Structure 1
Amino acid sequence: MAYTPNSSAPKADFDVIVVGGGPSGATAANDLAAKGHSVLLLDRAGRIKPCGGAIPPRCIEDFEIPDELICARIRSARMISPKNKAVDMPIENGFVGMVNRETFDEWLRERAEKTGAERRVGTFVRLERNEADQPVAVYTDAEGAEARASTKLLIGADGAKSKVLKQGLPNVKPAPYVFAYHEIIKAPKANGEARANYDPTRCDVYYQGRLSPDFYAWVFPHGDTASIGVGSAKKGFSLRGAVADLRRDAGMEESDLVRHEGAPIPMKPIKRWDNGRDVIVTGDAAGVVAPASGEGIYYAMAGGRMVADAVHMTLLTGEAKALATARRTFMKEHGKVFFVLGLLQYFWYGGDRRRERFVKICEDPDVQRLTWESYMNKRLVKREPMAHVRVFFKDLSHLLGLAKT
């Protein structure tokens, strides 16, 4: 149903302003424009987030991602232990899509614009309020001049260090985060040392303390290019040095560098997403990146859609309490997955002995099947209860050191 403005309400420049044009912000802007709202999508130009770029089949289906944006189709993952033991986890009857964030994010922004959102290039500076007590986004435009736009509702999709969160929800603690850094390189050619270690249909994940003391490192294919990256929350740890070590270990030291990026990646949904009035956050600002895996694209887009639904209901009814439904809906659908992944990260990333045992567990067919089914469909697998029981006791035996590595 299209939105019909209330003629008695104070006139704002826009019904909604979305700060940040990544997957979450662009999805929220697109959905709200499709519902008939006037939307401003404000985004900084040229920023690309470090990201492995994986999107599961559910993301492709739910958000109608066209085939031309899928730059690689992953058929397996290889888990590599501190002792360089490699365990392959093949995907049965499906694939994980890989996207380049440079083109993927821009396509999402263009889709929102085609749907009816107005796009502006600018950097959010601060939140003010006008005489009608409506939010006013103050930003610097592409020429560096300060500009303003008022709105009925403000959505902050401006990253883990969100200014919208800090200013609009000052009493809400931001999510804890790891720092991520990756280098996009030209994919190894069909021969040579690098190609011998590289499969364009396989993601390699390194669980080695020397590459990341508290997270993991990766080599993810992107068609003509590849992402080589690492994450860590440990202060003083050299992410660039770890990537250089990984490139050398993988025989990709001489591969041509295309670009590099670094940014904080949140690891836990924050306790509250809205101020109960007219400001709400989504995506990294809301902390919706999965622990352990660091997966964020699907959860960002799902969260953006839920925020858009909550904002739409608020605009229709004038009831600001509707904003809180976004987080409740997200946690109802994905909270258990985040909880389980948080436990996994806590138990298995706490040292190389545990990482060695974790990679050993990945050899198990039950673990592989349940992992892929949950990942591909974005929900915990409820069937096959005995498989869960078997996995539980195998996990326990590894934690207690009763299983051989």
Structure 2
Amino acid sequence: MQYDVVVVGGGPSGATAADDLVRSGHRVALLDRLGRIKPCGGAIPPRLIADFFIPDAQLVAKITTARMVSPSGRHVDIPIEDGFVGMVDREHFDAFLRDRAVAAGADLIAGTFVRIDRDADGTHVVYRDKADGTERTLSARLVIGADGARSKVAAQCVPGGDRIPYVIAYHEIVEAPQATATYDPTRCDVIYDGRISPDFYGWIFPHGGQASIGMGSLVKSVDVKQATADLRAAHGLTDCKTIRREGAPIPLKPLDRWDNGRDVVLAGDAAGVVAPSSGEGIYYAMVGGRVAATAAAAKLRTGRIKDLQLARRLFMKEHKQVFRVLGAMQNAYYRSDERRERFVSLCHDVDVQKLTFEAYMNKSLVKARPMAHLKIGIKNLAHLSGLVAVTRT
């Protein structure tokens, strides 16, 4: 059996690519290890819900406030006006996306990617069958690598794919309490504290009757489990029952190339598309899957190798500026606790709050209020230079 496309990896990116391709009439195999859940806060914006037709039943919570917490314990609560942030549990959300692709016509194969072989008959994806451990082969005209930040497909096939920089993320899913003085089931807490993470942040994200508590760091010496335990203790969540623990890499920068100029194109974490500063990945992974499917379909239709470049080109056309701004913000504010204090202080500003969440909800930089952008730029420089005093709660 020969497929038009074999998609390696059945997370949000791979499942989206598979679903789009089968709905456009292509024969698709979706290869996934199954049984593994990625550590993730689980936040998805309204634009994702609309663009990818996510039913309300997949949302385990709707968040209406975000709390930014500084190293000194100060905080600012930012209301999410005229909307909400949806929360999903990756254990069920990823399975929903895979099942939807299968219902549309994709073949779900349970196994682990090993390598890609090529001969006169074409391209062959070799994988280890989950059931019996034997090596088997799927033949395809094209391959989409959507197998995560340490992608084997990227490392083997795409220049630079073996050198993706990443942070290690770790979280614990716990049985969440009812609202307390330190926990609100309708609020996401983001903790900027060098004692939790010296170069990223910690989080407490409600998942209905559960919560995701975790952190990430690029510093290899950081004990992520101890940092998460400290985070739980600081917020009165130590005694909550732990349901599961998960860790995984999160990429820091999109790769310069997403295809091998022949028969492979990357998507999602394998292409490095996680937003700097926020670490948000689900929306960008699904967009990455969609543009990879678009590029693959174009290549299959025209036979032009250069059409595989459409994936990166389409993604960057819409999101490059957002990634650039978020990257600059991370570089400016995450380097020390003194800078983190000033970042949380800046978050008190109403212009910052409104534009931040308008951009988050719509996934684009808001251009409707140029004077507000100018004011924010001036305030940002003032905070970074220390010209303004740190705002106290």
Scaled to the shorter chain, the TM-score interval is over 0.9
- TM-score, length-normalised on structure 2? 0.98
Pairing partner for 1:139 from 120, 127, 130: 127
* Corresponding residue of 1:221: 206
4+ residue segments displaced more than 3 Å: 170-174
- Residue from 325, 332, 335 that aligns with 1:340: 325
Give the CA deviation at 1:95: 0.2
Aligned partners of 2:196 and 2:161: how far apart in 1?
33
Asked if 2 retains the 8 angstrom alpha-carbon contact of 1:39 and 1:117, the reply is yes
Q: Is the 8 A contact 2:115 2:125 kept in 1?
A: yes
Shift of 1:45: 1.4
Name the residue aligned to 2:151. 162
Is structure 2 residue 356 aligned with structure 1 residue 368?
no
The alignment partner of 1:379 has SS state of coil
Deviation at 1:175, TM superposition (A): 2.5
**Match of 2:58?**
69
Contact 2:62 2:87 in 1 (8 A): yes
Contact kept, 8 Å, 2:9 with 2:146, in 1: the verdict is yes
Distance (whole Å) between structure 1 residues aligned to residue 160 and residue 380 of structure 2:
39
RMSD: 0.9
How many corresponding residue pairs?
A: 389
1:291-337 Cα shifts (integer Å, max 9, x gaps): 00000000000111011011001101111110101101100100000
Give distance in 2, aligned partners of 1:62 and 1:171.
31
- Checking the alignment, whether the CA contact within 8 Å between 1:49 and 1:101 is kept in structure 2 is yes
Compute the displacement of 1:189 (Å). 3.3
Q: 2:369 matched to which residue of 1? A: 384
Equivalence for 1:105: 94
Distance 2:83 2:34 in 1: 35
Local SS of the residue matching 1:123:
strand
Counterpart of 1:384 in structure 2: which amino acid?
A: R
Q: Point out the more displaced range, 317-326 or 345-354.
A: 317-326
Identity between Structure 1 and Structure 2 (%): 60
Deviation per residue, 1:164-197 (Å, 9 max, x gap)? 011111454532110000000001135xxxx221
TM-score when normalising by structure 1: 0.95
Distance in 1 between residues matched to 2:182 and 2:57, nearest whole Å:
27
Q: Give yes or no for the alignment of 1:180 onto 2:165.
A: no
Match of 2:246 in 1: 261
Q: CA deviation at 1:135?
A: 1.9
Partner residue of 1:56? Answer: 45
**2:335 aligns to what?**
350
Q: Distance in 2 between matches of 1:170 and 1:88?
A: 43
Residue of structure 1 equivalent to 2:280: 295
> Which among 119, 122, 137 is matched to residue 108 of structure 2?
119
- 1:245-294 Cα distance to aligned partner (Å, 9 max, x none): 01000000010000010000001110000011110110000000000000
**Contact in 1 for aligned 2:156/2:162 (Cα 8 Å):** no
Structure 2, gaps ≥5 residues long:
none
Cα contact 1:138–1:149 (8 A) shared by 2:
yes
Alignment partners' CA distance in 1, 2:184 and 2:37: 25
Question: What are the superposed Cα offsets for residues 82-115 of structure 1, whole Å, 9 maximum, x if unpaired?
Answer: 1100100101110010000000000000000000
Amino acid at match of 2:144: I
